[in-house]
Structure 1
Amino acid sequence: MRLRHIEVIQALLQTGHLGTAAEWLQLPVAEVESVLRDAEGQLGFMLFSSVRGRLQATREARQLQVEIAHVYQALEPVQRLADSLKQYLAPPLRVIGTPPLAQQLLPHSIAALRRRFPDAPCTLLSQPTREIVRSLLLRESDLGLSLHDPEHADVDCQVIAQGKLQLLAPHGWLQPKQKYVSVQDLAGQSMVGLDGHDPLSPALESKLQALRPALVIQTRVQTHQMMRSMVEAGEGLAIVDPFTALGAKSSGLDVCPLAPAVPVSLYALTLKNAEPSPAVQALLAIITEQAVAMLSS
């Protein structure tokens, strides 16, 4: 008996019908019937008899069924090996970014990459920068994205795009067609603060602390996305990174950069001396293009 015989017999044992077995095997009905007749001819006995429109296994076929099950069990390691070899040829792409990048930038970039590498599996994670560095060092990720340089000796850090810190305010807070807000204009305003140090602009933080009258900060949160949500809830003003500010106008907020401008860099983080795969190289080019387009708009 050949494997094709065994495959057809198994399908018929499971379905009891030529047409259903043919659909299962994605073969023409005539071919399934021909393989069955060939198997019966080689064996010298019938495997199925027709009873009320269905194929009923003979006593000999039921005895063969036990050994056929053993054949399929023996094939499982072969299938697992084939799957692992396929993964080796197309290893998963593991990308990790800080929350605003994972939510605003990476989904569009991954979708664009999928058109070029349709079979490349991808894992996308969102973590703070310190966890991105840890993931790279443990080789759990291939590419990290952050808005500040972790300055780690074993991590390469490349600037791929630049933007500006943005002020978020309730609708109508800015004057019509106002293009920027001076830091001095924030004196005495109610602001949403960060719980902890913001690495994006230590210089700006000292300027804000020196304002008189002082800022009124009654609510502190962990992330820039939470700051945006608090502004939307009417809790005051907030200064956030440009990716968090994307789409804020469509949600009803006023948005504009500070003056003087406070630059924000987008960094691509990779493990030093690690050779990036073609998929990683392609994704990095896509991310750069997408980020520049988003920030320029």
Structure 2
Amino acid sequence: MNSKQLAAFRAVMLAGSMSDASRMLYVSQPAVSRLIKDLEESLGFTLFDRRNSRLYPTQAAHAFYREVERHFIGMDNLSQAADQIRMMRSGRLRIGAMPALAFSVMPTIVSRFLRSHGDVSAVFAPHLSVELANRVGAQQFDLGVVMLPVESKEIAYGPCYKIDCVCIAPKGHRFADQEKVHASDLHREPFVAIGQQNTVTRFLIDSALRENLARPDERMETLLLSTAASMVKEGLGVSIVDAFTAHTFADENLIVRPFEPSVPLYFGFITPVNRPVSGLAQEFIDSFEAYAAYNFPLTPIEPDEVGVV
């Protein structure tokens, strides 16, 4: 008794005839007949009655089929297990990112990572930081990049960073002649503000303006930094955004200048709590750091530096 004989028997039981079984197995009908005959000789009992050119399974065949089916179910389970092991080796990484990164540099970093890991697939989605923290805590993502601070008992913190925001202005603006833009330069200047939902960054911008007695002409407020950059590009005013967003929009009729006083943006990686960071997730973090360090002045920080406990 061998696997080919068992496969032939199962095919005949499922198809109902030697000819249909041969088509299922992509072998000739005489080959199926020979396999069934050899199996019957090996078992010592008849599997099929042959009447009027048709096959009828015997009672013994039905009993034997139940055992054979268990065998093939086990084989299917082994195949699925092999697929899972293969997926663990090749990997699938679920990444969530705050909009400031998701709509700027992350697509470039993710695509470079996948090109260098040809057997890896990824899920990538933008989410606001608080929502993303909840999703990472619920293990819907393996890795998240959030604006700090966020607090959750269900997440653990990976590397965290600080990067200074910059001033962006439409092409042809007077700021093009300045090496830097100071908060006092924004007094009565048409301005695109970021929303209060960006709590820390908005607070720091407002503090810098207030301390320098600057009152910009706030033309609009928008939640996303990328939307603010789009509005500036359209000539609606100037704005203060993160360096990643400014870098992405820099070639789109925008002027980018350092801003004083410093307005830092804090962000960092998060993972599900009590779950070790996978090797694949760590490789992605390394890829992010290599790209960001080459293109931006990142400063590593500890999460509690921005009130994360």
* Shared fold (TM-score, shorter chain, > 0.5): yes
Opposite residue 292 of structure 2, the aligned amino acid is A
* Residue 207 of structure 1 pairs with residue 199 of structure 2: no
Partners in 2 of 1:197 and 1:209 — Cα distance? 19
What whole-Å deviation, never above 9, does each CA across 1:64-112 have from its counterpart, x for those lacking one? xxx9xx999x967854763366336526422111012123233233333
Partners in 2 of 1:166 and 1:7 — Cα distance? 70
Partners in 2 of 1:172 and 1:151 — Cα distance? 42
The answer (yes or no) to whether the contact 1:149–1:157 under 8 Å persists in 2 is: no
Identity across aligned pairs (percent)?
19
* Residue 87 of structure 1 pairs with residue 84 of structure 2: yes
In the other structure, the counterpart of 2:264 is 263
What whole-Å deviation, never above 9, does each CA across 1:137-163 have from its counterpart, x for those lacking one? 222222110232324455333445443
Cα deviation for residue 172 of structure 1 reads 1.3
Opposite residue 228 of structure 2, the aligned amino acid is M
Cα deviation for residue 281 of structure 1 reads 1.2
Partners in 1 of 2:281 and 2:227 — Cα distance? 30
In the other structure, the counterpart of 2:278 is 277
The answer (yes or no) to whether the contact 1:157–1:270 under 8 Å persists in 2 is: yes
Opposite residue 291 of structure 2, the aligned amino acid is Q
* Residue 113 of structure 1 pairs with residue 113 of structure 2: yes
Cα deviation for residue 216 of structure 1 reads 1.0
- In terms of mean alpha carbon deviation, does 1-10 or 223-232 score higher? 1-10
In structure 1, list runs of 5 or more residues that go unmatched.
Answer: 26-31, 45-58
User: Following superposition of structure 1 onto structure 2, how do residues 73-222 of structure 1 map, counting pairs within 5 Å?
Assistant: 79=76, 82-83=79-80, 86-87=83-84, 90=88, 92-115=92-115, 117-152=117-152, 154-176=154-176, 178-198=178-198, 199-200=200-201, 202-209=203-210, 212=213, 214-222=215-223
Q: TM-score if structure 2 supplies the norm length?
A: 0.69
Partners in 1 of 2:106 and 2:74 — Cα distance? 36
Cα deviation for residue 39 of structure 1 reads 2.5
In the other structure, the counterpart of 2:252 is 251
Structure 1 stretches of 4+ with a deviation exceeding 6 A read 6-10
Cα deviation for residue 125 of structure 1 reads 1.9
Q: TM-score if structure 1 supplies the norm length?
A: 0.71
* Residue 225 of structure 1 pairs with residue 226 of structure 2: yes
In the other structure, the counterpart of 2:49 is none
CA RMSD for the aligned pairs? 4.0
Partners in 1 of 2:76 and 2:111 — Cα distance? 29
What whole-Å deviation, never above 9, does each CA across 1:242-287 have from its counterpart, x for those lacking one? 1111222211111112023323343111234321111111111111
